[in-house]
Amino acid sequence: MEFSAQQIAELLQGEIIGDSEIKVNTISKIEEGTVGSLSFLANPKYTKYIYDTKASVVLVNHDFIAEKEISATLIKVEDAYKAFASLLEIYQQYKENKIGIAESSVIEKTASLGENLYIGANVYIGNHTKIGDDCKIYPNTYIGDNVSIGEGTIIFSGVNIYSESVLGKECTMHAGVVIGSDGFGFAPQNQAEFKKVPQIGNVIIEDHVEIGANASVDRATMGSTIIRRGVKLDNLVQIAHNVEIGENTVIAALSGVSGSTKIGKNCMIGGQVGFAGHLTISDNVKIGAQSGVHKNLPEGAVVQGSPVVGYREWYRIASVLQKLPEIYRKIQKL
């Protein structure tokens, strides 16, 4: 799909410097620009590339002043980075604008389907499941019985959603996500054996949640595992049974939350963080990467390390750790 510089300028309420009729059909970095591509300049470090870029159209800030001739058509906007992000969102929506139900999909007769759906090849939708309007379900996805999926939700290829799960509006599940698998519940028996505890709860995911590729959210033993509105989980995150994650909390890749831990609103959790079970993490907490969380954390805490301590204390500990070999040599001499 092609857009002219004029169309882009009207969309962004920008000012054109150059050929208003020139067309673009792809996007690029400014240093990798090609004919027919749209790029942007926001960081002054990249200013040198604008004079040689082959991109046809470049978004720049209103205060940009060229020091020499530029072959690309410029569109001046208030904030080039935000404007480019807006265009990327529109471009993504265009790419994902699929509608239709593949013949190879299997949809049980008791399932309820909304309007303007895309259901790809080899998708299975179970009994009494409800799919809202404008949803997109990509190929090779399994959706079990009695599942509810809100309008505008996107489910990418290879996702597995177990029975009784509830997904809100405008969520995104990336490839390989598993929602509602059994929690890790086993009761010790005689002779070091374990008996599986039935996991009869479900998973509730509220609106505007995004879950990254190959992440897993376990169903509750009883009740619900709950992911609140606006939460963002990165790839390969593990959420155990009966966990609750508060609104707008973000968790980076390879982190794991053990059973029945409650995490508050607006928390920021780095990669490879591990949580013990049955903890309470209050609102607005920040946890550095590779930390081990073994205790409850108060509101606004900023922690790091394994086990976690205040980040200032962690930096002092880390600086001492680097000196341990030298200290050890001195002790040996003594």
Report the catalytic residues: 241
Task: Please report, for residues 7, 195, 196, the alpha-carbon distance to residue 188 in angstroms, rounded to integers and kept in the order given.
Answer: 67, 6, 9
- What is the distance between the alpha carbons of residues 114 and 92, in angstroms, rounded to a whole number? 22
Identify the three-state secondary structure at position 295: coil
- What is the distance between the alpha carbons of residues 16 and 59, in angstroms, rounded to a whole number? 9
Burial (CB count within 10 angstroms: exposed 0-12, middle 13-18, buried 19+), residue 332:
exposed
Name residue, tokens 């290829």. Answer: 157
Q: With left for phi above 0 and alpha for psi between -120 and 50, is residue 284 left, alpha or beta?
A: left
- Residue 218: name the closest of 193, 237, 242, 200 by CA: 242
